[in-house]
Amino acid sequence: MIHSLFLVNASGDIFLEKHWKSVVSRSVCDYFFEALERATEPENVPPVIPTPHHYLISVLRHRIYFVAVIQSEVPPLFVIEFLHRVVDTFQDYFGVCTEAAIKDNVVVVYELLEEMLDNGFPLATESNILKELIKPPTILRTMVNTITGSTNVGEQLPTGQLSVVPWRRTGVKYTNNEAYFDVVEEIDAIIDKSGSTITAEIQGVIDACVKLTGMPDLTLSFMNPRLLDDVSFHPCVRFKRWEAERILSFIPPDGNFRLLSYHVSSQNLVAIPVYVKHNITFREGSSQGRFDLTLGPKQTMGKGVESVLVSSQLPRGVLNVSLNPSQGTYTFDPVTKMLSWDVGKINPQKLPSLKGTMSLQAGASKPDENPTINIQFKIQQMAISGLKVNRLDMYGEKYKPFKGIKYMTKAGKFQVRT
């Protein structure tokens, strides 16, 4: 299945490679580098690239390309999901998944890749099982390994690997039994100049942190499960029960895991949480342009919109800007023509605005099109789709756990055209 894996940094250098079957020459990545040169943006590289003898399947995470080499046809999403699982495992083990962290822990990286894939097929991809096989690196453990010549590989096979629930280790004990669930929704939208929604959709996930003793059996139900569309589950979820009753029934892995990811499409009328009033004008033959922007909350059910960051790629003819923000600070790069405005939190009583003038090249013609505005924001304690957890129940154990649910909405690719 997966023959080799190459890790490529932002500069286009291969800094790590791993082969499971036969060694595949690095020259196979030339096809990937050609596609990278043709791409206008780093994330626009095609995820599947056919070559005369192989297929290259890649994902971009944390400014690193993970490029898998396949010799025969396989479902590409299967490989893409595995690559994402590799990144999540590195992040779990090292705290961050960067080129420096991977190079610093290169021995552990190779040990993990050896366990995660067996002869090219996924084997152990659950974090808590891997931690029994390969202990996460610590300063003390690294020093002991250097002195004694030992490795992070455990002595015994994980007990979970031999059970019917291979994602959970056996004999788990906690003094404080707790289960936390985070419902995180990311809204992607394009708004036209009149304020109408061209396209809007929500990508949502439910991340869990479960620290429960023994072998608990959990059920999670929703107030409005019909909202969920195109759902992808963790292997622990009993799919037949979800199909029949729309209830999530599962024996959870130990620790952090992603319970499910889902999609809410525009057919369900996605609410837009912020609005923008804009007036960006360029006059023919004038060396001045007008920039006027105001932000406000909309359909947020009284929740505050925070961590707001507005950015806009201004036309090439703009030399400089002289703007006055009512709150926050702005920066303008005269080389890249990128304007960034760090707004912070929106106060509904006094809406933040950015007003002023733009200096244009003398004699330059009026720009062909107005700039687009990209917005980043967060709304705590609200799921914009309206999804709500009804109840969480536990069976199979006698103690009462502490339970918590948290909601958050954030902007994905949120773009306003002017």
Phi, psi (degrees; rounded to nearest 5) at 110: -65, -35
Distance separating alpha carbons of residues 272 and 300, to the nearest angstrom: 9
Identity of the residue numbered 241: R
All structural domains of the chain with their residue ranges: 2-148, 178-270+384-416, 274-380
Burial of 104 (C-beta count, 10 Å sphere; 0-12/13-18/19+): middle
The CATH label, of 2.60.290.11, 2.60.40.1170, 2.60.40.10, 3.40.50.300, for the domain at 274-380 is 2.60.40.1170
The three-state secondary structure class of 29 is helix
The three-state secondary structure class of 68 is strand
Tokens of 199: 């396209």
Burial of 223 (C-beta count, 10 Å sphere; 0-12/13-18/19+): exposed
Question: Is 274-380 in the same CATH topology as 178-270+384-416?
Answer: yes
Phi, psi (degrees; rounded to nearest 5) at 375: -125, 135
> What's residue 369's pLDDT?
80
- E strand intervals along 142-196: 178-191
Identity of the residue numbered 214: G
> What's residue 366's pLDDT?
78
> What's residue 227's pLDDT?
84
> What's residue 370's pLDDT?
83
48-50, strands of its sheet edge to edge: 14-19, 2-8, 64-70, 55-61, 48-50
Class of domain 2-148: alpha beta
Thinking of the domain 178-270+384-416, which architecture would CATH place it in? Sandwich (2.60)
Distance separating alpha carbons of residues 113 and 125, to the nearest angstrom: 10
Average confidence (pLDDT) per 10 residues, the chain, 418 residues: 93 93 92 92 91 94 95 92 94 92 92 90 84 77 61 58 72 92 94 88 94 94 87 93 94 91 76 90 81 88 90 89 92 92 91 91 77 94 91 92 94 91
CA dihedral 155, 158, 162, 166 (to 10 degrees): -160
First to last CA, the chain: 48
- The runs of H, that is alpha helices, within 204-341 are 239-245
Phi, psi (degrees; rounded to nearest 5) at 257: -160, 160
Tokens of 180: 């936390």
Pick from 275, 284, 299: nearest CA to 384: 299
For residues 302-320, one letter each, b for 16 or more C-beta atoms within 10 angstroms of the residue's C-beta and e for the rest, the string is: eeebeebbbbbebbebbee
User: Could you write out the DSSP letters of every residue in 307-318?
Assistant: EEEEEEE--TTE
Cβ-contact 55, 35 below 8 angstroms: no
Predicted model pTM? 0.82
Tokens of 28: 């196979």
> What's residue 228's pLDDT?
84
